[in-house]
Amino acid sequence: NAGVMQNPRHLVRRRGQEARLRCSPMKGHSHVYWYRQLPEEGLKFMVYLQKENIIDESGMPKERFSAEFPKEGPSILRIQQVVRGDSAAYFCASSETYDSYTEAFFGQGTRLTVV
Amino acid sequence: AQSVTQPDIHITVSEGASLELRCNYSYGATPYLFWYVQSPGQGLQLLLKYFSGDTLVQGIKGFEAEFKRSQSSFNLRKPSVHWSDAAEYFCAVGAGNTGTASKLTFGTGTRLQVTL
Protein backbone atom coordinates (compact mmCIF):
# COMPACT_ATOMS: atom_id res chain seq x y z
CA ASN A 1 0.00 0.00 0.00
CA ALA A 2 1.75 3.10 -1.23
CA GLY A 3 1.82 6.12 1.02
CA VAL A 4 0.56 9.58 0.26
CA MET A 5 2.10 10.67 -3.03
CA GLN A 6 2.76 14.27 -3.84
CA ASN A 7 4.10 15.66 -7.07
CA PRO A 8 6.08 17.40 -8.10
CA ARG A 9 8.57 17.26 -5.24
CA HIS A 10 10.07 20.56 -6.29
CA LEU A 11 8.41 23.30 -8.31
CA VAL A 12 9.87 26.58 -9.47
CA ARG A 13 7.58 29.31 -10.74
CA ARG A 14 8.11 32.90 -11.78
CA ARG A 15 6.05 35.57 -10.15
CA GLY A 16 2.63 35.78 -11.75
CA GLN A 17 2.54 32.18 -12.95
CA GLU A 18 0.22 29.47 -11.69
CA ALA A 19 1.32 26.58 -9.49
CA ARG A 20 -0.50 23.25 -9.37
CA LEU A 21 0.33 20.81 -6.62
CA ARG A 22 -1.00 17.27 -6.69
CA CYS A 23 -1.74 14.84 -3.92
CA SER A 24 -2.78 11.23 -4.27
CA PRO A 25 -4.03 9.93 -0.92
CA MET A 26 -3.37 6.49 0.42
CA LYS A 27 -5.54 3.75 -0.99
CA GLY A 28 -8.90 3.72 0.72
CA HIS A 29 -8.52 7.24 2.11
CA SER A 30 -11.19 9.74 1.14
CA HIS A 31 -10.17 12.62 3.39
CA VAL A 32 -7.40 14.97 2.34
CA TYR A 33 -5.77 17.84 4.20
CA TRP A 34 -3.34 20.46 2.91
CA TYR A 35 -0.77 22.17 5.10
CA ARG A 36 1.76 24.88 4.37
CA GLN A 37 5.14 25.20 6.02
CA LEU A 38 6.75 28.58 5.65
CA PRO A 39 10.51 28.83 6.26
CA GLU A 40 11.40 28.51 9.94
CA GLU A 41 7.78 27.87 10.91
CA GLY A 42 5.57 24.93 11.76
CA LEU A 43 2.94 23.55 9.48
CA LYS A 44 -0.27 25.53 9.13
CA PHE A 45 -3.56 23.94 8.22
CA MET A 46 -5.03 25.20 4.95
CA VAL A 47 -7.95 23.09 3.83
CA TYR A 48 -9.77 19.82 4.42
CA LEU A 49 -11.52 18.07 1.56
CA GLN A 50 -13.50 14.96 0.92
CA LYS A 51 -14.30 13.63 -2.50
CA GLU A 52 -15.93 16.46 -4.47
CA ASN A 53 -16.43 18.57 -1.36
CA ILE A 54 -14.54 21.25 0.51
CA ILE A 55 -15.29 20.68 4.17
CA ASP A 56 -13.11 23.27 5.90
CA GLU A 57 -11.11 25.95 4.15
CA SER A 58 -10.59 28.16 7.17
CA GLY A 59 -6.83 28.19 6.67
CA MET A 60 -6.84 29.11 3.00
CA PRO A 61 -5.80 32.59 1.93
CA LYS A 62 -8.82 34.45 0.60
CA GLU A 63 -7.37 35.12 -2.83
CA ARG A 64 -5.41 33.18 -5.43
CA PHE A 65 -5.61 29.83 -3.61
CA SER A 66 -8.06 27.06 -4.39
CA ALA A 67 -8.29 23.34 -3.80
CA GLU A 68 -10.26 20.47 -5.19
CA PHE A 69 -10.58 16.74 -4.73
CA PRO A 70 -12.49 15.32 -7.69
CA LYS A 71 -14.31 12.04 -7.78
CA GLU A 72 -11.51 10.60 -9.84
CA GLY A 73 -7.88 11.58 -9.62
CA PRO A 74 -5.68 13.39 -7.15
CA SER A 75 -6.42 16.40 -5.00
CA ILE A 76 -5.11 19.63 -6.50
CA LEU A 77 -3.95 22.74 -4.70
CA ARG A 78 -3.84 25.63 -7.14
CA ILE A 79 -2.10 28.92 -6.57
CA GLN A 80 -2.74 31.59 -9.14
CA GLN A 81 -0.44 34.54 -9.82
CA VAL A 82 2.19 33.33 -7.39
CA VAL A 83 4.23 35.79 -5.35
CA ARG A 84 7.54 35.38 -3.52
CA GLY A 85 5.67 34.93 -0.23
CA ASP A 86 4.09 31.74 -1.56
CA SER A 87 7.48 30.03 -1.46
CA ALA A 88 7.03 27.24 1.05
CA ALA A 89 6.69 23.52 1.47
CA TYR A 90 3.17 22.27 0.91
CA PHE A 91 2.24 19.02 2.56
CA CYS A 92 -0.74 16.84 1.94
CA ALA A 93 -2.14 14.35 4.42
CA SER A 94 -4.87 11.78 4.11
CA SER A 95 -7.01 9.79 6.48
CA GLU A 96 -9.41 6.92 6.16
CA THR A 97 -12.28 8.30 8.16
CA TYR A 98 -13.43 11.41 9.94
CA ASP A 99 -13.44 10.56 13.62
CA SER A 100 -11.53 11.45 16.71
CA TYR A 101 -9.10 8.56 16.50
CA THR A 102 -8.12 8.68 12.87
CA GLU A 103 -4.46 9.13 12.11
CA ALA A 104 -3.41 11.27 9.19
CA PHE A 105 -0.51 10.17 7.01
CA PHE A 106 1.65 12.83 5.39
CA GLY A 107 3.25 12.95 2.00
CA GLN A 108 6.80 14.13 1.40
CA GLY A 109 5.67 17.57 0.35
CA THR A 110 6.09 19.87 -2.62
CA ARG A 111 8.65 22.59 -2.23
CA LEU A 112 7.53 25.63 -4.17
CA THR A 113 10.04 28.31 -5.01
CA VAL A 114 8.86 31.53 -6.57
CA VAL A 115 11.54 33.50 -8.40
CA ALA B 1 -8.31 28.38 19.92
CA GLN B 2 -5.77 25.65 20.36
CA SER B 3 -2.06 26.32 20.31
CA VAL B 4 1.22 24.50 20.74
CA THR B 5 4.46 25.89 22.12
CA GLN B 6 7.84 24.32 21.65
CA PRO B 7 10.11 26.59 23.68
CA ASP B 8 13.40 25.16 22.41
CA ILE B 9 14.17 26.15 18.84
CA HIS B 10 17.47 24.30 18.69
CA ILE B 11 18.95 21.58 20.90
CA THR B 12 22.34 19.91 20.67
CA VAL B 13 23.10 16.65 22.44
CA SER B 14 25.93 14.17 22.30
CA GLU B 15 25.33 10.74 20.85
CA GLY B 16 24.36 8.37 23.62
CA ALA B 17 23.03 11.12 25.85
CA SER B 18 19.42 11.34 26.91
CA LEU B 19 16.99 13.70 25.22
CA GLU B 20 13.90 15.58 26.27
CA LEU B 21 12.02 17.90 23.91
CA ARG B 22 9.42 20.13 25.47
CA CYS B 23 5.91 20.72 24.26
CA ASN B 24 3.14 22.72 25.91
CA TYR B 25 -0.34 22.97 24.51
CA SER B 26 -3.42 25.04 25.03
CA TYR B 27 -6.73 23.35 24.39
CA GLY B 28 -10.10 23.49 26.07
CA ALA B 29 -11.06 19.85 25.92
CA THR B 30 -9.22 16.56 25.99
CA PRO B 31 -6.37 16.99 23.54
CA TYR B 32 -5.19 14.59 20.92
CA LEU B 33 -1.42 14.98 20.90
CA PHE B 34 1.21 13.96 18.41
CA TRP B 35 4.93 14.08 17.84
CA TYR B 36 6.24 14.08 14.29
CA VAL B 37 9.80 13.99 12.98
CA GLN B 38 10.93 15.63 9.76
CA SER B 39 14.29 14.77 8.29
CA PRO B 40 15.83 17.24 5.82
CA GLY B 41 13.93 17.24 2.54
CA GLN B 42 11.50 14.63 3.78
CA GLY B 43 7.92 14.53 4.87
CA LEU B 44 6.64 14.12 8.37
CA GLN B 45 6.74 10.79 10.08
CA LEU B 46 4.57 10.07 13.08
CA LEU B 47 6.61 9.09 16.14
CA LEU B 48 3.78 8.60 18.58
CA LYS B 49 0.34 9.84 19.55
CA TYR B 50 -1.83 10.19 22.61
CA PHE B 51 -5.59 9.98 22.51
CA SER B 52 -6.52 8.61 25.91
CA GLY B 53 -5.55 6.01 28.48
CA ASP B 54 -2.03 5.50 29.73
CA THR B 55 -0.29 8.85 29.92
CA LEU B 56 3.10 7.38 29.02
CA VAL B 57 3.10 6.62 25.31
CA GLN B 58 5.66 4.50 23.51
CA GLY B 59 6.53 5.29 19.93
CA ILE B 60 8.84 4.22 17.17
CA LYS B 61 12.63 4.52 17.17
CA GLY B 62 12.81 4.24 20.96
CA PHE B 63 10.91 7.47 21.66
CA GLU B 64 8.34 7.97 24.37
CA ALA B 65 6.24 10.87 25.57
CA GLU B 66 4.33 11.62 28.73
CA PHE B 67 1.05 13.49 28.84
CA LYS B 68 0.74 15.67 31.94
CA ARG B 69 -2.64 17.33 32.06
CA SER B 70 -1.77 19.45 35.12
CA GLN B 71 1.16 20.98 33.25
CA SER B 72 -0.45 20.99 29.79
CA SER B 73 2.65 19.26 28.54
CA PHE B 74 3.53 16.40 26.24
CA ASN B 75 7.32 16.13 26.35
CA LEU B 76 9.20 13.76 24.10
CA ARG B 77 12.03 11.66 25.53
CA LYS B 78 14.65 9.21 24.42
CA PRO B 79 17.12 7.54 26.80
CA SER B 80 20.02 7.36 24.35
CA VAL B 81 20.21 9.47 21.21
CA HIS B 82 21.68 8.17 17.96
CA TRP B 83 23.29 10.36 15.30
CA SER B 84 20.46 9.43 12.95
CA ASP B 85 17.98 11.17 15.27
CA ALA B 86 19.20 14.56 14.06
CA ALA B 87 16.10 16.14 12.54
CA GLU B 88 13.28 18.60 13.18
CA TYR B 89 10.68 17.53 15.70
CA PHE B 90 7.14 18.87 15.73
CA CYS B 91 4.56 18.60 18.43
CA ALA B 92 0.94 18.89 17.34
CA VAL B 93 -2.51 18.94 18.88
CA GLY B 94 -5.59 17.63 17.12
CA ALA B 95 -8.92 19.38 16.94
CA GLY B 96 -10.78 16.65 18.74
CA ASN B 97 -13.95 18.63 19.06
CA THR B 98 -14.37 18.69 15.30
CA GLY B 99 -14.54 14.95 15.15
CA THR B 100 -11.15 14.28 13.69
CA ALA B 101 -7.61 14.17 14.90
CA SER B 102 -6.39 15.12 11.47
CA LYS B 103 -6.81 18.93 11.48
CA LEU B 104 -3.67 19.58 13.43
CA THR B 105 -2.11 22.64 15.01
CA PHE B 106 1.65 22.37 14.99
CA GLY B 107 4.33 23.93 17.10
CA THR B 108 7.19 25.74 15.42
CA GLY B 109 9.50 22.77 15.84
CA THR B 110 12.72 21.92 17.63
CA ARG B 111 15.78 21.25 15.55
CA LEU B 112 17.92 18.50 17.10
CA GLN B 113 21.62 18.33 16.40
CA VAL B 114 23.59 15.30 17.53
CA THR B 115 27.32 15.53 18.06
CA LEU B 116 29.56 12.49 17.88
B106 touches chain A (CB under 8 A): yes
Q: Are B102 and A41 a contacting pair at CB < 8 A?
A: no
Q: Where do runs of H (alpha helix) occur along B3-95?
A: none
Q: Give the mean model confidence (pLDDT) for residues B100-104.
A: 68
Which one of A44, A47, A48, A103 makes the best mutation probe of the B interface by having the most chain B beta carbons within 10 Å? A103
pLDDT the model gives residue B97 = 55
Q: Which residues of B touch A101 (CB under 8 A)?
A: 51, 101
CA atoms within 13 A on the CB side of A111: 8
Q: Cα(B116)–Cα(B14) distance, rounded to whole angstroms?
A: 6
DSSP per-residue codes, B82-108: -GGG-EEEEEEEE-GGGT-S-SEEE--
CB B83 within 8 A of CB B74: no
Residue A76 in this model has a pLDDT that exceeds 80: yes
Per-residue model confidence as pLDDT tens digits over A15-65: 999 999 999 999 999 999 999 999 888 889 999 999 999 999 999 999 999
| CA dihedral sign of residues A71, A73, A74, A80 | negative
Per-residue model confidence as pLDDT tens digits over B48-90: 988 888 899 999 999 999 999 999 999 999 999 999 999 999 9
CB A67 within 8 A of CB A54: yes
Indicate the burial class of A53 (C-beta count within 10 angstroms; 0-12, 13-18, 19 or more).
exposed
B101 touches chain A (CB under 8 A): yes
Q: Which of B42, B99, B109 sits opposite A99 (nearest CB)?
A: B99
B102 touches chain A (CB under 8 A): yes
